[in-house]
Structure 1
């Protein structure tokens, strides 16, 4: 409701917030991340999230997030409160400012190591 009132107020005075276009990657390992383009909603910023899975695997996500969620560490817990994934989302406010570093030569190697690490952790 507050978001709707804010939008109506801004439109009534002739101000319309510019919506950002950002890169999106649901899950990447190290700097290997398959990206697409996404449009943010009102009140969202581009972000690059970096974190650790199982305390050993560097993970990365990209996309849009509400401003309140910027620079806040979040965790995903599975199987009776065992933290499997923690991440901090670092935000920016210009189009495509969350650009992923791409190293196409190493992508296959990174994904292979990520798969083997994940497989090994699941076997333990």
Structure 2
């Protein structure tokens, strides 16, 4: 009897682990550039995408796993322990694998190109 209970428990654990939700994770992205990785969420979490504007014009985004009761709510991001709000972010959730948008890595080749162009201009202006 104990062997049956252990097998049923092991099967349930395997199914729970096998069906864990996978989400894209990006701590902070600016504009459309959000370098992502994949993350497996814990029980009671869903994938989320968060969008905000810092200083009223700089688009900020974040992605990852979020507790279900914190979904589809706004939250303030403050400077340290002060009450000065840097931005207010809306975190929208979804419940299927990798549903929180495509990875931001395709925008990555643009960043090295911009840095190389800026460096070239800087070196040219110093050389003249």
* TMscore range, shorter length: 0.5 to 0.7
Unaligned runs of 5+ in 2: 1-8, 116-128
The alignment partner of 1:94 has SS state of: coil
Report the TM-score, using the length of structure 2 for normalisation. 0.66
Q: Distance in 2 between matches of 1:78 and 1:63?
A: 22
Contact 1:32–1:101 under 8 Å retained in 2: no
1:8 matched to which residue of 2?
A: none
Q: Distance in 2 between matches of 1:98 and 1:30?
A: 16
1:81, distance to aligned residue in structure 2 (A): 1.4
Report the TM-score, using the length of structure 1 for normalisation. 0.68
1:104 has 2:126 as partner: no
1:78, distance to aligned residue in structure 2 (A): 1.4
The higher radius of gyration belongs to 2
The alignment partner of 1:31 has SS state of: coil
Unaligned runs of 5+ in 1: 1-10, 113-124
2:4 matched to which residue of 1?
A: none
RMSD: 2.8
Aligned match for 1:81, one of 65, 80, 83: 83
Q: Distance in 1 between matches of 2:83 and 2:109?
A: 34
Contact 2:32–2:107 under 8 Å retained in 1: no
Paired residues for 1:27-46 under 5 Å: 27-46=28-47
1:60 matched to which residue of 2?
A: 61
The alignment partner of 2:99 has SS state of: coil
Higher helix fraction: Structure 1 or Structure 2?
A: 2
Q: Taking structure 1 as reference, are residues 22 and 105 closer, same or farther at Cα in structure 2, changes over 3 Å only?
A: closer
Deviation per CA, 1:74-104, whole angstroms, max 9, x where unpaired?
0111163111021011100000001236452
